[in-house]
Amino acid sequence: MRVLYAQYAANALGLVPAMVLLVDYVARGLGRGASVGAGYWVLYGVAAIAGPLVSGFAADRVGFRAAYRGALLLQGLAVALLGLSGHPLAIGVATVVLGVFSPGIVPLVLGRIQEMLPHDPAAQRASWSHATTAFALFQALGGYGYSYLFAHSHESYALIFACGAAALMLALAADFTGTRRR
């Protein structure tokens, strides 16, 4: 379970850059203005509405572990894409992926906990509590840390997005490391 808690914490670190900087990146970083940035934020929100359904559908098809791995990979690629390309289509794709998985990651982690602790609802509740605490703590730490880093890196969006992508790739790698140990 500790690996899952660490993954979920790293997942929070990976999502924070888009949550905090997406509109600013488009509006100021790319010079497209607040209205265009707001349009991407609306796209993010619409994708978020579909997120739990998409994640649940994926988990039903391939299982929670594989769906969670896929979500980590897709999120990592999407955050990296934000840092590598200012093309409107690339930003749109990244925005949709990150919008889907911001709330969509929740049912995947809940499902993983149920898979890892079958037939033990009390342990599942306790584990979900620990996972949620880790996510919230690292989401807050990420917000403060990325703000500090952004201010002290001459507002380098690419650096912040690279850190988010690295956190997500570490979360994915941890899942494979945890598998080998068993």
Q: pLDDT at residue 37 above 60?
A: yes
- Per-residue pLDDT at 130 exceeds 90: yes
13-25: per-residue pLDDT in tens? Answer: 999 999 999 999 9
Domain extent at residue 53: 2-177
Contact 159, 12 (CB under 8 A): no
Please report the pLDDT score of residue 84 as a whole number.
95
- Say if residue 179's pLDDT is above 90: no
> Is the pLDDT at 95 greater than 90, yes or no?
yes
User: What distance in Å separates the CA atoms of residue 138 and residue 132, rounded to the nearest whole number?
Assistant: 10
User: Which CATH number fits the domain that encloses residue 43?
Assistant: 1.20.1250.20
The count of structural domains within the chain is 1
Instruction: Give the tens place of pLDDT for each residue, 47-81.
Output: 999 999 999 999 999 999 999 999 999 999 999 99
In a domain, 12, yes or no: yes
- Under the banding of pLDDT at 50, 70 and 90, the label for residue 175 is confident
The model's pTM is 0.91
Two structure tokens written together for 118: 């079958």
CA-CA-CA-CA torsion for 31, 36, 37, 38, nearest 10 degrees? 150
Q: What is the DSSP string of 62-118?
A: H-HHHHHHHHHHHHHHHHHHHHH---HHHHHHHHHHHHHHHHHHHHHHHHHHHHHST
Does the pLDDT value for residue 182 go beyond 60? no
Within-domain flag for 69: yes
With a CB cutoff of 8 Å and minimum separation 6, the contacts of 52 are 103, 104, 106, 107
Mean pLDDT in the chain?
Answer: 94
Tell me, yes or no, whether 75 lies in a domain: yes
Q: Tell me, what's the pLDDT at 108?
A: 97
Task: Let me know if residue 182 belongs to a domain.
Answer: no
165 located within any domain: yes
Of 110, 107, 52, 101, the C-alpha closest to 77 is: 101
